[in-house]
Amino acid sequence: MTMSEQPEGVTPSPSQASPGEPPPRSADAADRQELERLFAFLGRIQAEPELRERINWMQTALEVSELAAAEGQPFRPETLIALLQRAQEAPSSRVGLMDEKLIRVYLRRESLL
């Protein structure tokens, strides 16, 4: 059955895709790429004192994700919140503590992927 033969509003599954059409990109691959961008950004916190100082003034995952986007490494705040929860860290912190929390998460990256 081709896509034009599908009932309206029904998207073909990858096994039903027309020949020559690539299967839709998996959500897992997109999530993995987003996690890789997030961990790359977290790695910079430890390596770049100026970035670490900026992070120190932040209190929420939203603020961190906004800074990452401005730095060219965008990720959704929900992704950071989920990662913090898996690492048993609160998604917010007091001023001056966010950098340490994010570095702890970065150091545990292998076990969190």
pLDDT of residue 12: 47
User: What is the rounded average pLDDT of the residues 83-99?
Assistant: 91
> SS3 helix, strand, coil % of the chain, rounded to 5?
60, 0, 35
pLDDT of residue 28: 77
Chain centroid to Cα 77, Å, comes to 7
Q: Where are the domains of the chain?
A: 26-112
What's the token pair of residue 78?
A: 């929900």
pTM over 0.85: no
Quick: pLDDT tens for 18-74: 555 544 455 677 788 899 999 999 999 989 999 999 999 999 999 999 999 999 999
Amino acid identity for residue 62 in this structure = L
Amino acid identity for residue 25 in this structure = R
Contact status, residue 25 vs residue 34, Cβ threshold 8 Å: no
User: What is the rounded average pLDDT of the residues 91-98?
Assistant: 91
pLDDT of residue 14: 46
pLDDT of residue 26: 56
Q: Does residue 70 sit in helix, strand or coil? A: helix
